[in-house]
Structure 1
Amino acid sequence: MGDRARHGRRHAVTRRPLADPAAFIRAETHLLAPPLVPEIRLHLAAESLPIWQRTEEELGEIGLPPPFWAFAWAGGQALARYVLDHPETVRGRRVLDFAAGSGLVGIAAMKAGAAAVACADIDPFAHAAIALNAWENGAPVEVLAADVVGTDFGWEVILAGDIAYEHDLAARVFGWLEALSARGAAVWIGDPGRSYLPRERLEKIAEYGVPVSRELEDAEIKRTSVWRPRC
């Protein structure tokens, strides 16, 4: 399907929404290791279509976004792999995992020795998924249930995986990340060639071949890079 923005939601079937996000996640996912990061196990969907439909049918009426938290996206996998292989990136530092989804990157940062990790996402089901996944991996993280773009809580490292799939989001986020970088934060971005990545403003640091599902992407192996701002 390519960019995540292509996953448009159909009209939701009116049903009573589930009250317990953790129960929904446990029922609809399996504990799986992302291919590029076998050290970590996450509550992930084995197939994309069923959980997308279930989210629409059971939860769409309360306006939840698609279940991005149920997949280990290529950008996050590459960034998590880089952090685990280069623990000096986060060791002893206060880290933000932005648009955390499953929490994969933040969990990797904790395993690599970060002093503290905050995982930020606006989806309440992502909040539950992050908590479940962090517990499963023995990697305590703080869950930030807020839109943190434009804020600065003194994070020393910002990790952002797969955030350039939508024009308006990318334009808003990258200006903020560059401002954090300019004041001295280390900013690392994982991206599998999404349409709105401002490559001319970034420096490529590493590249990986990430195994992914053809249900979600346009290839079985996505060439995925880790970047940082040039400023």
Structure 2
Amino acid sequence: VAGKRVLDFAAGSGLVGVAAMKAGAASVLCADIDPFCQAAVAANATANDVTLAFTQTNLLDAPPPEVEVICAGDICYERPMTDAVLAWLALAREKGTRVLIGDPGRTYFPRTGLDFLAEYRVPTSRELEDQEIKRSSVWAMP
């Protein structure tokens, strides 16, 4: 992402946006429709001494923005949302945007049509997940 414009889609707390800026991204737009995310993104940007833009606009209502990389994490836990997001991401990919998807093994994650990049073992808690260590993978749209 060094030198690139990045969209952290379904940003949550902005963790991916922070990582992108720390890796040298030119800019990051964090997008999430959850009204609590803006405060979390701002707090994490401040704590990590990076600048992150934020939008609460539902980006699925318009063509994908002009960025070089879209990172979308944990988007496949509900069928209608998964279908809508994957179709929107495919439009971005067709325009030449690099699309990276992080997924911790959610039910509606597609089992075909993506290129596997990496797998990580992520510590979590039983209050959030069904395991103390969650396997999470990163995939790219070809």
Tell me the TM-score normalised to structure 1 length. Answer: 0.60
Q: Higher strand share goes to which structure? A: 2
Where in structure 1 do 4 or more consecutive aligned residues deviate above 3 Å?
none
Mind listing any 5+ residue stretches in structure 1 that lack a counterpart? 1-89
Find the counterpart in structure 2 of residue 129 from structure 1: 40
Q: Compare CA radii of gyration and give the structure with the larger one.
A: 1
Find the counterpart in structure 2 of residue 146 from structure 1: 57
Matched, 1:100 2:11: yes
- Secondary structure in 1 matching 2:17: helix
**Mapping for residues 187-202 of structure 1, pairs under 5 Å:** 187-202=99-114
- Secondary structure in 1 matching 2:112: helix
RMSD value, Cα: 0.9
Mind listing any 5+ residue stretches in structure 2 that lack a counterpart? none
In 2, Cα distance between equivalents of 1:158 and 1:122: 16
In 2, Cα distance between equivalents of 1:135 and 1:114: 17
In 1, Cα distance between equivalents of 2:27 and 2:15: 15
- Secondary structure in 1 matching 2:87: helix
Cα drift, residue 125 of structure 1: 1.3
Answer with 149-158 or 175-184: which moved more.
149-158
Answer with 94-103 or 143-152: which moved more.
143-152
Q: Higher helix share goes to which structure? A: 1
- Secondary structure in 2 matching 1:113: coil
- Secondary structure in 1 matching 2:51: coil
Cα drift, residue 198 of structure 1: 1.1
